Structure 1
Amino acid sequence: MIARTGDTFINREWIFEKPHRREDWVLSQESRNIVASASGVRSSGSRKVAREILEKTGQKVSYSTARRERQRQGLKPFHVILKPLKTVTHVEDREWLANFVTGWTEEDFLHMAASDEFYIYVIRKPNHQNDRIWAKSVEDTTDDERYCEMVQNAKCIGIFVMFTAKKLLWVLKGDGQSWNGAYFRDIILEKHVIPFLHNLVNVVDTDEVIFLPDKALCMKANATQHFLEDEGVNFWGNSIWPGNSPDMNPVENIGAIIKDRVEELMASEDRQERYNYDALKTNLEGVLEDVENDTDLFVDLLGSMRKRFDALAAVKGCHTNF
């Protein structure tokens, strides 16, 4: 079908090519300057830049056009947390594990004791789309207020957490102590994890409980694996639990809940106390005490492992939406 307007023929080819012809001239120099001025500033997404162009120049452009102009100017989005890369081996290992637990029920997963270690910062590190900063280099972001807060006030507390269907175990890392293998074995495992797993108050069945660690270096070290074997701990070791699989470990949800609640409490503090280590520790301990007996949450998360592995099997070991 062809439409004729004067001497101009409009057909599918013309419509297809028209947007591409406009690319070179759709943005005025003033609009390009607005795009450039928004670099190095947080919360200046392409949609917001497009609205600013409309308000200041009267020129209506799409957010995708603003984004392409940023790319033309050599700008890149910093502070973007990508999905963990998965090699062919990782994908195969994940698919194998999904097949390994095919016959497991939600009740079977209630015997898991999922664990993780991470840091809680006075200013939460960026981990969301809204925290992206478009700039040519990371040095160009240093004028951003939030970036400066994170760099200048980077006080943090390391924490180890493990939860079962009955209770949450948490251990705050000593100030200045690194997560090395010796500390993990002598303090975290021997003094906290193993006694916790041997106490029926904390687990559904002491004979059936399965310790689920992450793949941190201190955990996957051969010395740590042998230590757990010698102590008679039933756990998913390096040969079972695949790397780069936070979507399969429900403890990631526990970590997110803790971080969200601590961040909310720190934001409510006075400006001076907001960056105080003692205030951070007090708020963190309060949140952990509130969460440590939330059995409904723990049962829901462990029970969700059945759905997680079903989803993993469906995508043959690739990324899931968990």
Structure 2
Amino acid sequence: MGKTAALTVVQKTTIDTLHKEGKTQKVIAKEAGCSQRSVSKHINREAKGRKRCGRKKCTSNRDNRTLERIVKQNPFKNVGEIHKEWTAAGVSASRTTTHRHMQDMGLSCRIPCVKPLLNNRQRQKHLAWAKDKKDQTAAEWSKVMCSDESKFCISFGNQGPRVWRKRGEAQNPCCLRSSVKFPQSVMVWGAMSSAGVGPLCFLRSKVNASIYQDVLEHFMLPAADQLYGDADFIFQQDLAPAHSAKATSTWFKDHGIPVLNWPANSPDLNPIENLWGIVKRKMRYARPNNAEELKATIRATWALITPEQCHRLIDSMPRRIAAVIQAKGAPTKY
């Protein structure tokens, strides 16, 4: 039978804590993320007072706390920089030991998520908005039509797939992923509700209040007829200058369309942001050669969005709001 994997410091602490609470070994193994055999061996070793064999540790608990403080001060440093700062604090350890201690603390190197920067005032508004909407049900959110613009490029950077090829085929045109210095791109406006998606609008120039009102007239109103019929709805938009202009507000009043108040820099609250992500992932393997082919691909992919997908996204609104409240107005996983 193979050896059991070595437990990390975090796992050992979890096992000790749950064991003192009287939890079963099966429950402890599930919570600690290890095998039940590892849990049993650790508990028995601690009960008998047996110590691990092997070389004595070169760092003390105080040294480990210093390392943890260094990482928390700037988690974007690489292992080499952290090791240099740790040894400068008087700790005698190799770079490999530094890396191993960081892993024992439960730290892993990951690609950071990209979220909009929120200042304190925006966070407070974010939180206040969420608290005001916390009792709104998914059925009530189904009356909201969400809208947004998104940029699509011919080149999708590192999102493209890997290629299977033989030796010597690296320069074969069939195995190349094209890149250009200034890739063509298109800006798209779209809308969705729990019933599905509306028609897309490709924007030819920078959007001002006049152009945005044309979009509302020729694309938003038909989308509302398609998704709601004669039923009432509430329109959602972000706080872009063209959206919050006085002329645009007058347009909504003249057409009798209520607009949902919306906090600034809050894409995690807008389900259509996730819909754009779905479309771009589906287009990952597409290779349009020009802007017209790109538009055709976007239209075809948008048409594949099902009402069930939209319904699930709208149903997530209460969970999004709860996440904002829990994060005290900070960006969430959505």
Structure 1 residue 262 and structure 2 residue 310: aligned?
Answer: no
The runs of at least 4 consecutive aligned structure 1 residues that moved more than 4 Å come to 8-11, 13-19, 60-65, 125-128
The alignment partner of 1:83 has SS state of coil
Residue of structure 1 aligned with 2:143, choices 66, 90, 111: 111
Paired residues of 2:191 and 2:272 also in contact (CA < 8 A):
yes
TM-score normalised per structure 2: 0.60
Q: CA deviation digits over 1:11-54, x for unaligned, max 9?
A: 728966999xxxxxxxxxxxxxxxxxxxxxxxxxx79xxxxxxx
Q: CA deviation at 1:281?
A: 2.1
Q: Does 1:298 align with 2:298?
A: no
Deviation at 1:211, TM superposition (A): 0.7
Residue 282 and residue 61 in structure 1: after superposition, are their counterparts in 2 closer, same or farther (change >3 A)? farther
Unaligned runs of at least 5 residues, structure 2:
1-55, 68-77, 80-93, 100-110, 161-175
Matched residue, 1:149: 179
Superposed, which structure 2 residues align to 1:84-95 within 5 Å? 84-95=116-127
Alignment-derived partner of residue 33 in structure 2: none
SS where residue 303 of structure 2 aligns?
Answer: helix
Q: Is the 8 A contact 1:247 1:320 kept in 2?
A: yes
In the other structure, the counterpart of 2:156 is: 124
The 8 Å contact of residues 111 and 204 in structure 1, kept in 2 or not, is answered as no
* Range 114-123 or range 8-17, more displaced: 8-17
2:218 aligned with 1:194: no
Please name the residue that 1:183 is paired with: 211
Instruction: Please report the RMSD computed on the Cα atoms of aligned residues, expressed in angstroms.
Output: 3.6
CA contact (8 A) 2:191 2:199 kept: yes
In structure 2, the CA distance between the partners of 1:63 and 1:16, relative to structure 1 (3 Å rule), is closer
Question: Do 1:262 and 1:283's aligned partners in 2 also have CA atoms closer than 8 Å?
Answer: yes
Q: Which amino acid aligns with 2:289?
A: Y
Q: 1:62 to 1:103 in 2, by over 3 A?
A: same
Tell me the residue number matched to 2:254: 230
1:313–1:149: structure 2 CA closer, same or farther, 3 Å change rule? same
> TM-score with structure 1 length normalisation?
0.62
Q: Counterpart of 1:118 in 2: which secondary structure?
A: strand
Summarize deviations over 1:133-172 as a string: whole Å, max 9, x none: xxxxxxxxxxxx98x92523x1112110100122211323
| Greater length-normalized contact order (CA 8 Å, ≥ 6 residues apart) | 1
Query: Aligned residues: percent identity?
Result: 21
Equivalent position SS for 1:161 = strand
What corresponds to 2:82 in structure 1? none
Partner of 2:134: 102
The structure having more radius of gyration, on CA atoms, is: 2
Letter in 2 for 1:284: I
**What is the rounded CA distance, in whole Å, between the counterparts of 1:94 and 1:12 in structure 2?**
43
Q: Please list, as runs of the form range in 1=range in 2, the aligned pairs for 1:2-81 lying within 5 A after superposition.
A: 12=60
Q: Aligned with 2:195: secondary structure? A: coil
Structure 2: how far apart are the matches of 1:312 and 1:212? 18
- Structure 2 distance, partners of 1:94, 1:18, is 35
Decide which of 189, 202, 216 is 1:173's aligned counterpart: 202
Question: Which residue pairs with 1:278 in the alignment?
Answer: 292
Instruction: State the shift of 1:87 in Å.
Output: 1.5
Superposed, 1:210-225 pairs within 5 Å as: 210-225=234-249
